[in-house]
């Protein structure tokens, strides 16, 4: 049985959220920009690329805030419908609701609930949104992979299906295992063992492709990224498009457009590459991993945020370098109605409180929280 003291558990949850917010602030100015533009404008990124505005709101965190509120309201046995109803109650619809989540919210408001809300008229069912909001499920169930999978399948079904949900499961597992596993490659391999094998899952295949590209190009993350995007992802995208009945379907249009940069597959490839290249930096693997992900482009705020959450859970708040946590001033803002301003420390405390209950009641002797 694994053990965590109450203080260590809270410190790691706090670290995971500091990492999440720090990653968002690195990635947000770079989102969806061409990599050549990012390189020309910002060069070799090793700090926040723009000055932090504490009133800035990123959409990524608001679904996790709502998940916390739903857990506190409905209890540990909440359902996907419970969370979906809180989306309807708490999301400011006209602000920062996009792609799969926007479709799902429209479905929910039409009384179409999970899992149908995730697939009905939804060309984005396998995009990044569920993976984006994965962190909290790993934070509340450290070292408990079956619980992580349960909560992620439930939450993911609100707006996603297939590899879209697999992305939420995998990233949440990376966060969950980071509470105990210091070596990122071991964490990746172990977390991947809970997904279908590469013959059954394009998601697993993509993670393994990214690992292979890293091993072949350990000195050049840009070369690995070029192959991942311009060869591997482009081929898969063409295969997706070929399965559509014609070029006028909404699915075809989004796969051919800039929105395809928000698909879960290329972005998990970028996350894996960034974690592996960042681990080479012995002084600041946390910051290096986030910055490499930023320089690789695509959905940078989601990717950098997930990476920060994973590595922050491993380090704990106390060990995150001051250059990354001090500018945050323990503060961030959301578009969740009635919960627009937060102290990161307060949010982390509430999540840790839920996690302690989950571990005690549902941990099945996998993990114990001690004083």
Provide the terminal-to-terminal Cα distance of the chain, rounded to the nearest Å: 16
Residue 151 has pLDDT above 90, yes or no: yes
pLDDT value at position 94? 66
Task: Residue 171: count other Cβ atoms within 10 Å of its Cβ.
Answer: 31
Query: Tell me: the pLDDT tens digits for 253-264?
Result: 999 999 999 999
Residue 207 has pLDDT above 90, yes or no: yes
Residue 144 has pLDDT above 70, yes or no: yes
Query: Tell me: the pLDDT tens digits for 264-293?
Result: 999 999 999 999 999 999 999 999 999 999
Secondary structure of 215-271 as H, E, C letters? HHCCCCHHHHHHHHHHHHHHHHHHHHHHCCCCCCCHHHHHHHCHHHHHEHHHHHHHH
In sequence order, the 6+-apart residues with CB closer than 8 A to the CB of 212 are none
Averaged pLDDT for residues 12-41: 98
Query: Tell me: the pLDDT tens digits for 332-369?
Result: 999 999 999 999 999 999 999 999 999 999 998 899 99
Q: For residue 141, name the pLDDT band (cuts at 50, 70, 90).
A: very high
> What are the two backbone dihedrals, phi and then psi, of residue 320, each rounded to the nearest 5 degrees?
-75, 130
User: Residue ranges per domain, the chain?
Assistant: 7-366
- Measure the CA–CA gap between 317 and 185, rounded to whole angstroms: 22
Average pLDDT, the chain: 97
Whether the link from the prior residue into 115 is cis, omega within 30° of 0, is yes
Among 49-58, 113-122, 147-156, 304-313, the least confident range: 49-58
- Measure the CA–CA gap between 225 and 237, rounded to whole angstroms: 16
Helix (H) / strand (E) containing 257: none
Q: For residue 93, name the pLDDT band (cuts at 50, 70, 90).
A: low
Query: Tell me: the pLDDT tens digits for 7-17?
Result: 999 999 999 99
Averaged pLDDT for residues 67-82: 98
Flag whether the pTM goes above 0.95.
yes
What does CATH list as the number for 7-366? 1.10.4080.10
Q: For residue 298, name the pLDDT band (cuts at 50, 70, 90).
A: very high
**Cα separations in angstroms, 27 against 102, 171, 205:** 22, 17, 25
pLDDT value at position 86? 97
Q: And the tokens for 323? A: 């250059």
């Amino acid at each position: 049985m694994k053990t965590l003291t109450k203080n260590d558990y809270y410190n790691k949850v706090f670290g995971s959220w500091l990492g999440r917010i720090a990653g968002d602030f690195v990635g947000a100015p770079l989102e969806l920009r061409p990599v050549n533009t990012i390189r020309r404008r910002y060069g070799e990124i090793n700090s926040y690329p723009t000055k932090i505005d504490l009133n800035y709101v990123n959409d990524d965190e608001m679904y996790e805030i709502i998940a916390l509120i739903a857990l506190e309201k409905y209890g540990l046995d909440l359902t996907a419908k419970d969370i979906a109803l809180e989306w309807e109650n708490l999301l400011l619809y006209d602000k920062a609701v996009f792609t799969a989540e926007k479709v799902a919210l429209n479905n929910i408001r039409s009384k179409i609930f999970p899992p149908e809300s995730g697939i009905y008229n939804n060309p984005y069912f396998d995009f990044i949104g569920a993976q984006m909001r994965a962190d909290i499920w790993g934070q509340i169930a450290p070292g408990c992979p079956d619980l992580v999978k349960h909560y992620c399948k439930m939450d993911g079904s609100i707006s996603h299906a297939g590899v879209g949900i697999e992305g939420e499961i995998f990233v949440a597992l990376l966060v969950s295992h980071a509470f105990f596993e210091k070596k990122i490659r071991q964490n990746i391999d172990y977390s991947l063992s809970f997904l279908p094998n590469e013959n059954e899952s394009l998601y697993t295949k993509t993670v393994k492709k990214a690992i292979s590209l890293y091993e072949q190009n350990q000195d050049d993350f840009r070369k690995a990224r070029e192959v991942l995007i311009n060869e591997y992802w482009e081929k898969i995208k063409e295969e997706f498009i070929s399965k559509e009945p014609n070029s006028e379907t909404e699915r075809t249009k989004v796969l051919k457009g800039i929105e395809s940069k928000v698909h879960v597959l290329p972005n998990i490839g970028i996350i894996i590459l960034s974690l592996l290249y960042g681990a080479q930096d012995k002084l600041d693997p946390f910051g290096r991993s986030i910055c490499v992900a930023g320089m690789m482009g695509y959905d940078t705020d989601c990717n950098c945020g997930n990476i920060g959450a994973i590595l922050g859970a491993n380090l704990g708040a106390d060990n995150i370098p001051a250059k990354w946590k001090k500018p945050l001033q323990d503060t961030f803002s959301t578009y969740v109605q009635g919960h627009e301003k937060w102290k990161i420390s307060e949010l982390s405390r509430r999540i840790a409180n839920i996690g302690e209950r989950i571990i005690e009641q549902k941990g099945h002797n996998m993990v114990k929280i001690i004083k």
